[in-house]
Amino acid sequence: MTLPPKVTDRAFARLAEIAEAMGEAKSLRVAVDGGGCSGFQYSITLDEPAADDLVLEKDGQRVLVDQVSLPFLSNAVIDFTDELIGARFVVQNPNAKTSCGCGTSFSI
């Protein structure tokens, strides 16, 4: 059974900050593409929703997941982190068997 990913309050708050800085609200698209050093990689971009996207919404902010990526992100957590190495959106994915050091590439 495919469970939708969860988005943390911190990720939604950062998305709201980005929208305020840009002067317009854009949705955050989280997708899974083939490639990277472990077989799959996350693609995180600002985008407009497509007709068949899963839309996760809070306080007017939206996170989008396309239907092809959805099974790979089942029960994952989409978060925002601000560490010494930099600030970025991250995916904590229970489906990933291995991942690379940068956290953007994984295998299932």
CA angle 82, 83, 84 (to 5 degrees): 140
Task: Please check whether residue 66 lies inside any domain of the structure.
Answer: yes
pTM as predicted: 0.85
> So what's the pLDDT on residue 19?
93
Specify the CATH number for the domain of residue 38: 2.60.300.12
Contact 89, 11 (CB under 8 A): yes
Complete edge-to-edge strand list for the sheet that includes strand 61-65: 54-58, 61-65, 27-34, 40-47, 105-107, 98-99
Mean pLDDT of 44-49: 94
Higher-confidence residue: 91 or 104?
A: 91
Beta partners for 32?
42
Task: Please check whether residue 1 lies inside any domain of the structure.
Answer: no
Residue type at 15 in one-letter notation: L
pLDDT digits (tens, 9 = 90+) for 71-88: 999 999 999 998 887 889
Distance of CA 96 to the CA centre of its chain: 14
Tokens for 84?
Answer: 């010494």
Higher-confidence residue: 21 or 85?
A: 21
The answer, yes or no, to whether residue 95 has pLDDT greater than 60, is yes
Expressed as residue numbers, the domain containing 23 is: 6-98
In whole angstroms, give the CA distance from residue 75 to residue 44: 17
Q: Count of domains in the chain?
A: 1
Task: Please check whether residue 104 lies inside any domain of the structure.
Answer: no
